Amino acid sequence: MKPKQLANVLIKILGLSMCAHSIVPILNGLVNALSAPPNYGSNYRSGFWFYLLTGGIPAVIGLFLIVRSWFVTEKLFKNEAE
């Protein structure tokens, strides 16, 4: 396997890992928002946006790495010959 091909596969695996790790914060925010008692107001529900950001940003980065792994590989190996 050539170094560029290996790097392409490893970048995709990194993207999958980031997407998998972002599932827990998103689900945690959903559970907290849906299980909040109605008399506590919006304090519990506003925490959902924090969990959405802490889980959503790595998910977006992971999806970018999966979809554009060849682009990232080309940028990393732009000066190397095959």
Q: What is the pLDDT of residue 43?
A: 59
pTM: 0.78
Residue 16 has pLDDT above 90, yes or no: yes
Q: What is the pLDDT of residue 46?
A: 67
Q: What is the pLDDT of residue 8?
A: 93
Choice between 39 and 14, residue whose per-residue pLDDT is larger: 14
Confidence of residue 82 (pLDDT cuts 50, 70, 90): low
Tokens of 57: 């940003």
82 Cα distance to chain centroid? 31
Residues 62-71, mean pLDDT to the nearest whole number: 94
